Amino acid sequence: MQPRSPTRFIDPALLAGISHLDLVAKTVVDGFVAGLHRSPDFGFSQEFAEYRAYTPGDDLRHVDWNVFARTERMYLKRYRGETNSQLTLMIDTSASMGYSSHGINKLDYGRYLAVSLAYLSNLQRDAAGVIIFDDDVRSYVQPSTRQGQFMRVAHAIEHAQTGTHTNFAKPFIHFQQFLRRRGIVVVISDFYEQPEVVIKTVEPLRYRGNDLILFHVLDPQEIRPKLKEPSLLVDMETEDAIEVSPEYAKEEYGAKIDAHIAALKIKANAAGIDYQLLPTDRPLDDALREYFLIRKGRM
Amino acid sequence: MGFFAPWFLAGAVAIGLPFWIHLLRQYRSTPHPFSSLMFFERRTQSSIKHRRLRYLLLLSLRVALLLLIALAFANPFVSRSGGATGGRKMLVIAVDNSFSMRYDDHLARAKQTAVNAVSNLNPGERGQVLAVGSRVHFLTQPVEEADQLKAAIQGIQPSDEQSSYGELARALRTISQTSRIPLEVHFSSDLQKSSMPPAFADLRLGTDTKLVFHSVADSKEPNWMLESVTAPAKIYDPKKVRIQAVVAGSNTPQTKRTVSLALDGKTLESKMLDVPSNGRASVEFLSLDSPHGFHKGEIRIEPGDALHEDDRFDFAIERTDPHPVLFLHPAGQTLDELYYRSALESVSEAGFTLEPLAVEQAGNQSLSKYAFVVLSDVGTMPPGLEANLRAYVAGGGSLLVALGPLSAALARVPVSNETIQGSAYASRGDSRFETVAAADAEHPTLRRANKLDGVKFYQEIKVDPGQSHVIARLTNQAPLLLEKQVGEGRVVVFTSTFDNVGNDMPLHASFVPFVEETARYLGGQQDRSTNVAVDSYIELRSAQEHGSAIDVTEPDGSHPLSLKDASTTQTFQVTREGFYDIHRANGREELVAVHADRRESDLTPIPQETLALWQNTGLGPDTPSGDGSAADTQPRPWSLWRYALLLVLIIAIIESVLASRYLSVEKEVA
């Protein structure tokens, strides 16, 4: 990761000071898009793409009659906007997502990410929907391009609250029925589950040609805990307590979480799933860049 | 096992403190919520397990530390019977070698009984020999060899000291405390009643001390003695000498004794004296024809008795000429000289003769031969006189300055240089006068002058004291008597006159003592007793005098002071009868006669009841009196607080090391 200018990307902790999620999304996405170089690979849906010779059976509405008047040949005009997609955001709101060691907890970070993606897809005329889940589906907004869809999605995201513990298997069974069209599925979670279980659970989402992105949101303290003295740690989901020494947290726990992240990444890639680790002290642009890469691949 | 102070065990509740620190405080840590414990194993992690173990060790040490402190304060003891020491005892042989043991063959008999007592020394036991005088002399270390003890006993020589049984009891207590085994003390003595301490409590013995008396004196042994001799230290006129001697007897019938006065071994006069039964009689010798110098005087009674050492009494006497005193006064003024001379010469033993001289004629007067110089109301002095006086005082001479009307014209007091501020006059008619308001009654000049009480001062010269010490002040706070050290000598300033004009002091009874004591003080003839008792201390020098060596020659001709002691020691204790020659730092010789304390001549023994009480102090409260062997088998407490304190020290050190190691580990982790 290259060092970034502090003025270009906004610290996620600062976003917590913005009360409305739609404003958060606008702040993040506008700042991100304004910083991009103009590129032929990226554009908006009404942008011209190419001409193609008319063949019998083509819709006459797409014939460029101006060209026909000048050349007496019929060409079809194609736009990139026509290659629109469906974005489904799946946000884990289990209790562990409420953990925070600094200004912003993981759920807030996930919400900012989700609403930013929803805003971005709205700009691109993509249909965006959201599923809020923990051990069950708590809220669902069907992907749509209707007017006010972004606000519905933002509203659902804003009202997401931390729930109980995560149970991937149970809600994901139901997700299959929500995903009727192929599109992009974004899962935002801390994935406190065995990597095999996670991949096995989310893998069916790809079967209908969906692109699947796993955004692994973790607090920096979860990756490298810094304990000054033996501490009593309480599990936020199960409320179990374990006394942990600084030495253990530094050595054994660090090795285990690194192995977990590595295993999750390897298994995701093996299953054709995109995986991105997002520490909550890092700006959201990595996530947005990942989304664009996927979106590009679908055009 | 028991406790001498069991209520201190209540302090053991303090062990709750380390428990609170180690357990409650340690595990009351605030829980930290964490997203998931998926990667933490539910087992006691090795590092924490290790740490807890170490903390438990620290906890144990701290608890033990507090318990031991409480235990040490509670003073635990175990009861140990005499058998705990294996039935062993320590044999202490004490022999009285005080002055009274010179009576007949008392000392020889005491030594024989002491040698016999050595047979009580069992194999494996130790014995020690003491000689008891005014102090206790340890003649041997605790040894097991009987021959060594006997040799020490045989080596005991009679002394001139007064025996002190209180000192013996103190020494026995010390031995008992240090040896920690029962003592068997055999005390061979004449058991004089006069050697008992003022308080019976001073005789108490240590635990398990069995005291056995071996009396070498009969209950009623007659003894005559020269109880006291009163003789002047200096005589100026052989015709005016008065020597008084008191002869006393104890357990004696009425008898006649011849009392003789001898000087330097030559008998000068003898008188017959009737001494009543158990009474005393005195005799006086009214002349002592002697040449100049120191003489060794002796009074003796004849015939002698079994204790012939107290039938003679030594005294030292010095025949000398009176010392001249120069009295400088203005020409024409003789009243002050008249009064001062009358006062000085009225004291026969003062030893001063007054030489008056008009100040106008004293310009070239040599001052070195005078004991001191008096300046009486001297105004302007002839050239050279003040410088002469200044040199005289700086060289060790003394000067008495009386200020009068003529002195008021001077700016400064001669030699002492204190500023004269003016004069003050009072009227007799209005009864306006000053009296002494404050005076240092301990100062030698006023010691017998009753603070000049009642003396009215009509005229005085006001002097700024400056660096002088004010000895007396008048009611108007003006200094009356001042003293100043100038060089090696001193100047005493009297701010009034010696006539009866400026004051009425010459008409008061305090005038003669004032003049006499002032003359003694300035003339360097302060009272130094030349007849002292054994064990007294002779003052060799004052605290201010250093450097010059003082030589002391004992009666046998030995010099007891080392070179260092000769230049630093302030006092010297005399320990034997006879004459001590003292060569002082200023070159003066002194002869001091030392005689034994006459309480030693009273051979009245201690009552048996008192001796029994004394013996019982060493047997403990529950032991039947008179049965010393019971003390050996009686269980006695053995205090353990020292061991508890030692353990406290060791544990405290270990705890400190351990705690510091833990702290250093936590610091690294942090």
Q: Give the pLDDT confidence score for residue B627 in this predicted structure.
A: 42
Cα(B93)–Cα(B128) distance, integer angstroms? 6
Categorize the per-residue pLDDT at B34 as very low, low, confident or very high, splitting at 50, 70 and 90: confident
Cα(A218)–Cα(A204) distance, integer angstroms? 24
Of B29, B30, B40, the CB nearest to A253: B40
Are A156 and A175 members of one domain?
yes
B-chain residues within 8 Å CB-CB of A164?
Answer: none
For an interface test with B, the pick among A233, A237, A251, A261 (most B C-beta atoms closer than 10 Å) comes out as: A233
Q: Report percent pLDDT > 70 for chain A.
A: 75
At B588, the amino acid letter reads: R
Are A56 and A136 members of one domain?
no
More confident residue, B430 or B552: B552
* CA-based R_g, chain A, Å: 22
Q: Give the pLDDT confidence score for residue A145 in this predicted structure.
A: 80
A-chain residues within 8 Å CB-CB of B29?
Answer: 229-232
For an interface test with B, the pick among A226, A247, A258 (most B C-beta atoms closer than 10 Å) comes out as: A247
Are B213 and B228 members of one domain?
no
Q: Do A253 and B31 touch (CB under 8 A)?
A: no
Q: Give the pLDDT confidence score for residue B24 in this predicted structure.
A: 59
Kindly state the average pLDDT of the residues B154-178: 91
Are A190 and A75 members of one domain?
no
Chain A closest CA to B54's CA: distance in Å?
A: 15
Q: Do A233 and B32 touch (CB under 8 A)?
A: yes
Q: Give the pLDDT confidence score for residue A243 in this predicted structure.
A: 79
Q: CA nearest A258 in B: which residue?
A: B39
Are A175 and A116 members of one domain?
yes
Q: Give the pLDDT confidence score for residue B283 in this predicted structure.
A: 92
Kindly state the average pLDDT of the residues A257-275: 90
Q: Give the pLDDT confidence score for residue A20 in this predicted structure.
A: 62
B584: domain range? 531-595
Categorize the per-residue pLDDT at B658 as very low, low, confident or very high, splitting at 50, 70 and 90: confident
B-chain residues within 8 Å CB-CB of A246?
Answer: 669
Q: Is residue B296 part of a domain?
A: yes
Q: Give the pLDDT confidence score for residue B620 in this predicted structure.
A: 59
Q: Is residue A227 part of a domain?
A: yes
Question: Is residue B488 within 8 Å of B395, Cβ to Cβ?
Answer: yes
Q: Do B48 and A245 touch (CB under 8 A)?
A: yes
Q: Report percent pLDDT > 90 for chain A.
A: 8
The answer, for B28 touching chain A at a CB cutoff of 8 Å, is no
Q: Give the pLDDT confidence score for residue B322 in this predicted structure.
A: 84
Question: Is residue A240 within 8 Å of B37, Cβ to Cβ?
Answer: yes
Q: CA nearest B41 in A: which residue?
A: A242
Q: Report percent pLDDT > 70 for chain B.
A: 89
Question: Is residue B454 within 8 Å of B439, Cβ to Cβ?
Answer: no
Q: Is residue A250 part of a domain?
A: yes
| Partners of B592 in beta bridges | B580
Q: Do A233 and B37 touch (CB under 8 A)?
A: yes
The answer, for A223 touching chain B at a CB cutoff of 8 Å, is no
Number of residues written out for chain B: 670
Categorize the per-residue pLDDT at A257 as very low, low, confident or very high, splitting at 50, 70 and 90: very high
The answer, for B431 touching chain A at a CB cutoff of 8 Å, is no
Are B269 and B238 members of one domain?
yes
pLDDT at B49 over 60: no
pLDDT at B27 over 60: no
Q: Is residue B37 part of a domain?
A: no
Q: Is residue A158 part of a domain?
A: yes
For an interface test with A, the pick among B23, B27, B29, B34 (most A C-beta atoms closer than 10 Å) comes out as: B34
Give the H/E segment covering residue B653.
helix B641-669
Q: Is residue B370 part of a domain?
A: yes
For an interface test with B, the pick among A189, A242, A251 (most B C-beta atoms closer than 10 Å) comes out as: A242
Q: Is residue B284 part of a domain?
A: yes
Are B466 and B330 members of one domain?
yes
What pLDDT, in 10s, does the model give residues B588-610? 788 899 999 888 888 888 998 99
What pLDDT, in 10s, does the model give residues B207-226? 788 999 999 988 778 888 99
Are A62 and A202 members of one domain?
no
pLDDT at B173 over 80: yes
What pLDDT, in 10s, does the model give residues B105-157? 899 999 999 999 898 888 888 999 999 999 999 999 999 899 999 999 999 99
**What's the ipTM?**
0.75
Are B152 and B21 members of one domain?
no
Cα(B629)–Cα(B213) distance, integer angstroms? 16
The answer, for B665 touching chain A at a CB cutoff of 8 Å, is no
Are B212 and B285 members of one domain?
no
Q: Give the pLDDT confidence score for residue B445 in this predicted structure.
A: 87
A52: domain range? 48-81
Q: Is residue A197 part of a domain?
A: yes
By C-alpha distance, which of B596, B546, B640, B625 is closest to B72?
Answer: B640
Q: CA nearest B27 in A: which residue?
A: A232
> Residue B151 has which token pair?
């040799």
| Of A154-168, B61-75, B355-369, the least confident | A154-168
Q: Do A260 and B36 touch (CB under 8 A)?
A: no
Kindly state the average pLDDT of the residues A92-117: 88
Cis link prior to B303 (omega < 30° from 0)? yes
Are A172 and A52 members of one domain?
no
Q: Give the pLDDT confidence score for residue B101 in this predicted structure.
A: 92
> Residue B273 has which token pair?
């004296």
Q: Do B35 and A99 touch (CB under 8 A)?
A: yes
pLDDT at A28 over 70: no
Q: Do B34 and A236 touch (CB under 8 A)?
A: yes
Q: What CATH number is associated with residue B565?
A: 2.60.40
pLDDT at A29 over 70: no
Q: Do B45 and A231 touch (CB under 8 A)?
A: no
Are B361 and B478 members of one domain?
yes
Q: Do A248 and B40 touch (CB under 8 A)?
A: yes
Contacts of B50 (CB under 8 A, 6+ apart): none
Crossing angle for the helix pair A149-158 and A106-123, nearest 10 degrees? 180
Number of structural domains in chain A: 2
Question: Is residue B72 within 8 Å of B644, Cβ to Cβ?
Answer: yes
The answer, for A197 touching chain B at a CB cutoff of 8 Å, is no
Contacts of B548 (CB under 8 A, 6+ apart): B541, B567, B585, B586
A-chain residues within 8 Å CB-CB of B55?
Answer: none
pLDDT at A43 over 50: no
More confident residue, B85 or A151: A151
Q: State whether the Cα torsion B621-B623-B624-B627 is positive or negative.
A: negative
| Of B125-139, B513-527, B536-550, the least confident | B536-550
Q: What CATH number is associated with residue B449?
A: 3.40.50.880
What pLDDT, in 10s, does the model give residues B236-286? 878 878 899 999 988 888 989 899 999 988 898 999 999 998 888 999 998
Q: Do A235 and B669 touch (CB under 8 A)?
A: no
More confident residue, B635 or B386: B386
The answer, for B35 touching chain A at a CB cutoff of 8 Å, is yes
Cα(B345)–Cα(B362) distance, integer angstroms? 23
Q: Give the pLDDT confidence score for residue A147 in this predicted structure.
A: 83
Are B300 and B228 members of one domain?
yes
Are A149 and A245 members of one domain?
yes
Categorize the per-residue pLDDT at A8 as very low, low, confident or very high, splitting at 50, 70 and 90: very low
Q: Is residue B344 part of a domain?
A: yes
What pLDDT, in 10s, does the model give residues A192-248? 888 998 888 888 877 767 788 888 999 998 888 888 777 788 888 888 888 787 778
Burial B72-108 (b: 16+ CB within 10 A, else e): bbbbbbeeeebeebeeebbbbbbbbbbbbbbbbebbe
Cα(B28)–Cα(B44) distance, integer angstroms? 17
pLDDT at B187 over 90: yes
By C-alpha distance, which of B298, B260, B257, B300 is closest to B280?
Answer: B257
Categorize the per-residue pLDDT at A24 as very low, low, confident or very high, splitting at 50, 70 and 90: low
| Of A157-171, B283-297, B511-525, B601-615, the least confident | A157-171
Q: Please give the interface size between A and B, counted as residue pairs whose CB atoms are below 8 Å apart.
A: 79
Categorize the per-residue pLDDT at A5 as very low, low, confident or very high, splitting at 50, 70 and 90: very low
Q: CA nearest A106 in B: which residue?
A: B35
Q: Give the pLDDT confidence score for residue A235 in this predicted structure.
A: 85
Kindly state the average pLDDT of the residues B71-87: 71
Task: Quickly list H helices, B75-145.
Answer: 106-117
SS3 of chain A: the string is: CCCCCCCCCCCHHHHCCCCCHHHHHHHHHHHHHHHCCCCCCCCCCCCEEEEEECCCCCCHHHECHHHHHHHCCCEEEEEHHHHCCEEEEEEECCHHHHCCCCCCCHHHHHHHHHHHHHHHHHHCCCEEEEEEECCCEEEEEEEECCCCHHHHHHHHHHCCCCCCCCCCHHHHHHHHHHCCCCCEEEEEECCCCCHHHHHHHHHHHHCCCCEEEEEEEECHHHHCCCCCCCEEEEECCCCCEEEECHHHHHHHHHHHHHHHHHHHHHHHHHCCCEEEEEECCCCCHHHHHHHHHHHHHCC
The answer, for A228 touching chain B at a CB cutoff of 8 Å, is yes
Distances (CA, A) of A223 to A162, A243, B34: 21, 18, 12
Q: Do A222 and B38 touch (CB under 8 A)?
A: no
Q: Do B670 and A97 touch (CB under 8 A)?
A: no
Q: Is residue A5 part of a domain?
A: no
Number of structural domains in chain B: 5
Are A66 and A101 members of one domain?
no
Are A63 and A192 members of one domain?
no
| Of A281-295, B523-537, B574-588, the least confident | A281-295
Are A161 and A75 members of one domain?
no
Crossing angle for the helix pair A169-178 and A195-202, nearest 10 degrees? 20
Q: Is residue A210 part of a domain?
A: yes
The answer, for A239 touching chain B at a CB cutoff of 8 Å, is no
The answer, for B663 touching chain A at a CB cutoff of 8 Å, is no
Are B584 and B610 members of one domain?
no
> Residue B394 has which token pair?
């700086």
Q: CA nearest B36 in A: which residue?
A: A235
Name the DSSP letter for residue B382: P
> Residue B600 has which token pair?
């030693």
Of A219, A242, A246, the CB nearest to B40: A242
Q: What CATH number is associated with residue A137?
A: 3.40.50.410
Q: What CATH number is associated with residue B289?
A: 2.60.40.10
Q: Is residue B309 part of a domain?
A: yes
- How many angstroms separate the most distant Cα atoms in chain B? 126
B-chain residues within 8 Å CB-CB of A231?
Answer: 29, 32
What pLDDT, in 10s, does the model give residues B466-501? 889 999 999 888 899 999 988 878 999 999 998 888
pLDDT at A38 over 50: no
Are A154 and A174 members of one domain?
yes
Name the DSSP letter for residue B419: B
> What's the mean pLDDT when you consider all of chain B?
84
Cα(B154)–Cα(B107) distance, integer angstroms? 10
Class of residue B478 by CB neighbours under 10 A (exposed 0-12, middle 13-18, buried 19+):
buried
B-chain residues within 8 Å CB-CB of A241?
Answer: 31
Q: CA nearest A250 in B: which residue?
A: B669
At B152, the amino acid letter reads: A
Q: Do B51 and A230 touch (CB under 8 A)?
A: yes
Are B232 and B209 members of one domain?
no
Burial B431-460 (b: 16+ CB within 10 A, else e): eebbbbeebbeebbbbbebbbbeebbbbbb
Q: Is residue A229 part of a domain?
A: yes
Cα(B137)–Cα(B96) distance, integer angstroms? 10
Are B334 and B471 members of one domain?
yes
Chain A closest CA to B23's CA: distance in Å?
A: 14
Chain A closest CA to B655's CA: distance in Å?
A: 22
pLDDT at B86 over 70: no
> What's the mean pLDDT when you consider all of chain A?
78
A-chain residues within 8 Å CB-CB of B34?
Answer: 99, 222, 233-236
Cα(B189)–Cα(B196) distance, integer angstroms? 13
The answer, for A190 touching chain B at a CB cutoff of 8 Å, is yes
Are A231 and A143 members of one domain?
yes
Name the DSSP letter for residue B612: H
Categorize the per-residue pLDDT at A45 as very low, low, confident or very high, splitting at 50, 70 and 90: very low
Q: Is residue A195 part of a domain?
A: yes
Cα(B421)–Cα(B462) distance, integer angstroms? 5
Of B36, B40, B48, the CB nearest to A96: B36
pLDDT at B399 over 60: yes
Are B557 and B584 members of one domain?
yes
Categorize the per-residue pLDDT at B540 as very low, low, confident or very high, splitting at 50, 70 and 90: confident
